[in-house]
Chain A
Amino acid sequence: MISEGWCVVLELIVISTLNGVLFGMLLFLMASGLTVIFSMLGVLNFAHASFYMLGAFFGFQISRWVGFWPALFIAPLLAGALGAAVERFGLRRVHRNGHVAELLFTFGLAFAIEEIVQIIWGKSPVDFRIPASLDFPAFRIFSTNYPAYKMFMLLVSIAIFVGLLVVLKKSRVGLIVQAALTHPHMVGHLGHNVGRIFMLVFGVGTALAAVAGVIAGPALVTQSNMAALLGPILFVVVVVGGLGSLPGAFVASLLIGLVQTFAVSMNGSLAGAFGPLGPDYAQTWLSDIWGVTVAQVAPIMPYVLLVLILIFRPMGLLGTRET
């Protein structure tokens, strides 16, 4: 017989783990594309989160016309096609002028996409609803309901993760992509059309981000600042995981998802940690940081992690080369 107190703690842990894994998987859907694009093209795509936003808005618009389920497939295809076009007609031309130009190009693109989204859909949140068929509690843990839609989000992202793994490890295309990650010139010399592979990878990468957008749109808020809210965290994921490392991105996504969620559920502060042993001057001189709880600093945790990783392990958790 477990006491009631432990039940509550257990409930909090289970729910927080579910929430953390879910957020982590969403991050991974985006980070996977970003990290592969980076290692192949050598460009940190600043506009990557914008494709996540485009996915959400395309999903919203298409689900208005034909319903949510077709939108789930059409919106990522559209965004992916757009991404491929950006690579083919934009990045490839800019590439001639070097990496800085490419970086600036993606940077500008992010702003352009945000402006265009604001022109078309306005600045306030749009009413992107969870489909009625998924709007019910999936199960109950002790006394907390867990929404079916969140389970659906989790399943979709896990399915895509497994699919990605199989394609990369088992298929011929995957082999070439893996080779191009480390030795793009050699792959070119062997007669593969490296340009087409790049376009394909860029398209698939942005489509994955768009999938994340379509499924996250109804659960979170679909508005024109959603790319800006999530973008910085994506870079943290990619750097912490190790640039160009897919398993690294996976581990880092889950790590950051869990760290952020669990930090919110903790109450500890410096004052609490030191208790009566805390020095007297702390209350007055350090009053600003002394009483701050872990929950309050939750949003900056990923960035603290970023700084620590860059100092102690610059290649990232599972990366193989220096950044």
Chain B
Amino acid sequence: MRQWMMVAALLPMLGGTALAQETVKIGYIDPLSGGGASIGEVGYKTFQFLAEELNAKGGILGKKVEIVPFDNKTNPQESLIQAQKAIDGGVRYITQGNGSSVAGALTDFVTKYNERNPGKEILYFNYAAVDPVLTNAKCSFWHFRWDANSDIKMEALTNYMKSAADIKKLYLINQDYSFGESVRSAAKTMLKAKRPDIQIVGDELHPLLKITDFAPYVAKIKASGADSVITGNWGQDFALLLKASADAGLKVNWYTYYAGGTGGPTAIKQANLNHQVFQIAEGIPNLGYPSADAFEKALRAKYDFSLFYPRAVNQMRMFAAAAEKAKSLDPVKVAAALEGMQFDVYNGGGKGIMRKDDHQFFQPMYIASFGDRTEKEPFDEEKTGWGWRQAAKIDPEQTMLPTTCKMERPN
């Protein structure tokens, strides 16, 4: 009797290890509670959707892809605890995107871990943390970034603003951490060179994801007499900023990185800023590419949100392609296969390349404005009736900024 109980107790454990060998686990370390939860949740579901897509085609090298969520509360310390937890649970690939402060801590952690644990390496796929330092001074062989970094985005955005003659007084408002800091300094240096006549009437940094009422900040923007605002705000920091602007009746042009995040489109519609909010991203709905449209439709049929992370699609599909190319799921071999890899981006807009020097992915970028739609623009956002319209396309070659990265590769 006792022996049977032992066997019964052991069986599930055996089952567990057998199952672990059958799946590729990707640890999703991002906020699932607190101020970042609204977009962390969207990211999680997007990755689940992409995993299902891969599994429907037989997985990666015949193994099922599984996304395992870890809530880091947008906190660097908490992220390291969660990363360790993920590793203890058999995860060899982690992905994270929200917050460059978190990304900086994670990339350090992964690099050190891999030095100390040869043969058990971890790869870190960064799908949205855009602080340039991650592929420059702090670059790591174990870190790959699919989102264009902040300097690339600002380069494209300021090239577009260069020809907008109606910009005279500009206000900068950003989140008070490494990413917000890099947005404001890049904006200032680039505009000084491209449009020295633009007067910068405000330069604000506010606490990250802690403000629930932006009314005092909006009053200040109003008082400054600005006609345009640049902001790198994401998540609720963008939605609430626009909501407060709508309440106060602030009418300016917005140049943003993440206007399309949860709550953003609703707030823009409420503020009635028809094609006055611009966003730089690697993809939007309404570009008219058939494969992108099909993906968008499938995603919307399953969830009540649109594709906010086209980069995640590129990331997951490239991961699969790299593993097939290496014929292995060993992170070291996958990393080697990813280096310098060329890839047709998901929407059919052209080729992208994972630069070997710094592990930054270069891809076509789009500037789009948000507002009413024509017949050629089938997709709206958050049931507002308004949608994205392409304003400019930037080819990868034009975004190839130099890097200072000195990559240290394992022997």
Q: Residues of A with Cβ closer than 8 Å to B?
A: 8-9, 11-12, 15-16, 19-20, 23, 118, 123-125, 137, 140, 143-147, 150, 219-221, 223-226, 229, 260-261, 264-265, 267, 293, 295-296, 299
Given A219-B213, A224-B33, A299-B207; A137-B38 close (CB under 8 Å): no
Nearest-neighbor residue (CB-CB) of B270 within chain A: A135
B205–A296 CB distance below 8 A: yes
Nearest-neighbor residue (CB-CB) of B215 within chain A: A19
B34–A225 CB distance below 8 A: yes
Q: Is B247 positioned at the interface, with any CB of A under 8 Å from its CB? A: yes
Complex CA–CA separation, A265 to B212 (angstroms): 16
Q: Which residues of A contact B210 (CB under 8 A)?
A: 229, 299
Closest CB of chain B to A277's CB: distance in Å? 23
Q: Is B373 positioned at the interface, with any CB of A under 8 Å from its CB? A: no
A23–B247 CB distance below 8 A: no
A144–B240 CB distance below 8 A: no
Q: Which residues of A contact B249 (CB under 8 A)?
A: 137, 140, 143-145
A223–B220 CB distance below 8 A: no
Complex CA–CA separation, A177 to B89 (angstroms): 57
Most buried by A among B216, B222, B225: B216
Nearest-neighbor residue (CB-CB) of B36 within chain A: A124
Q: Which residues of B contact A219 (CB under 8 A)?
A: 213
Partner of A221, one of B41, B206, B240, B248: B240
Closest CB of chain A to B238's CB: distance in Å? 13
- Interface bits B208-225 vs A (CB < 8 Å: 1, else 0): 001011011101101101
Partner of A23, one of B205, B213, B220: B213
- Interface bits B16-44 vs A (CB < 8 Å: 1, else 0): 00000000000000001111011001000
Complex CA–CA separation, A137 to B250 (angstroms): 12
Partner of B34, one of A123, A220, A260: A123
B222–A221 CB distance below 8 A: no
19 contacts between A and B (CB under 8 A): A11-B222, A12-B223, A15-B215, A16-B216, A16-B219, A23-B213, A118-B33, A123-B37, A124-B37, A140-B249, A144-B222, A145-B248, A221-B35, A223-B35, A223-B37, A295-B205, A295-B206, A295-B220, A299-B210
Closest CB of chain A to B353's CB: distance in Å? 36
Partner of A8, one of B35, B212, B223: B223
Nearest-neighbor residue (CB-CB) of A267 within chain B: B202
Q: Which residues of B contact A8 (CB under 8 A)?
A: 223, 225
Closest CB of chain B to A223's CB: distance in Å? 7
Query: Quick one: which of B184-207 are within 8 Å of A by CB?
Result: 202, 204-207
Partner of A225, one of B33, B176, B204, B215: B33
Q: Is B347 positioned at the interface, with any CB of A under 8 Å from its CB? A: no
Complex CA–CA separation, A19 to B32 (angstroms): 31
Q: Is B236 positioned at the interface, with any CB of A under 8 Å from its CB? A: yes
Q: Residues of B with Cβ closer than 8 Å to A?
A: 32-35, 37-38, 41, 71, 176, 202, 204-207, 210, 212-213, 215-217, 219-220, 222-223, 225, 236, 240, 247-250
Partner of B32, one of A15, A123, A223, A261: A123
Q: Which residues of A contact B33 (CB under 8 A)?
A: 118, 123-124, 224-225
A125–B216 CB distance below 8 A: no
B207–A19 CB distance below 8 A: no
Complex CA–CA separation, A143 to B222 (angstroms): 9
Complex CA–CA separation, A125 to B36 (angstroms): 10
Given A124-B38, A125-B236, A296-B205; A220-B212 close (CB under 8 Å): yes
Closest CB of chain B to A98's CB: distance in Å? 34
Given A9-B223, A123-B33; A19-B247 close (CB under 8 Å): no
Complex CA–CA separation, A125 to B37 (angstroms): 8
Complex CA–CA separation, A118 to B37 (angstroms): 12
Q: Which residues of A contact B35 (CB under 8 A)?
A: 221, 223, 225
Q: Which residues of A contact B248 (CB under 8 A)?
A: 15, 144-146
Nearest-neighbor residue (CB-CB) of B34 within chain A: A225
Q: Which residues of B contact A150 (CB under 8 A)?
A: 215, 247
Closest CB of chain A to B272's CB: distance in Å? 12
Nearest-neighbor residue (CB-CB) of B211 within chain A: A299
Nearest-neighbor residue (CB-CB) of A14 within chain B: B219
The 8 A-B residue pairs whose C-beta atoms are closest, nearest first, are A123-B33, A145-B249, A220-B212, A12-B223, A264-B216, A124-B37, A15-B219, A147-B247
Nearest-neighbor residue (CB-CB) of B225 within chain A: A8
B34–A12 CB distance below 8 A: no
Nearest-neighbor residue (CB-CB) of A20 within chain B: B216
Closest CB of chain B to A55's CB: distance in Å? 15
Nearest-neighbor residue (CB-CB) of A23 within chain B: B213
Q: Which residues of A contact B225 (CB under 8 A)?
A: 8
Given A123-B37, A145-B249, A225-B34; A264-B176 close (CB under 8 Å): no
Complex CA–CA separation, A264 to B205 (angstroms): 10
Starting from the known contacts A124-B41, A225-B35, 18 additional A-B residue pairs (CB-CB under 8 Å) come to: A8-B225, A15-B219, A16-B216, A19-B213, A123-B33, A123-B34, A140-B249, A144-B250, A145-B247, A146-B248, A220-B212, A221-B35, A225-B33, A225-B34, A261-B216, A293-B205, A295-B206, A299-B210
Closest CB of chain A to B241's CB: distance in Å? 12
Closest CB of chain A to B184's CB: distance in Å? 12
Q: Which residues of A contact B71 (CB under 8 A)?
A: 123
Given A124-B41, A221-B236; A19-B216 close (CB under 8 Å): yes
Complex CA–CA separation, A220 to B37 (angstroms): 16
Closest CB of chain B to A186's CB: distance in Å? 43
Q: Which residues of B contact A20 (CB under 8 A)?
A: 216
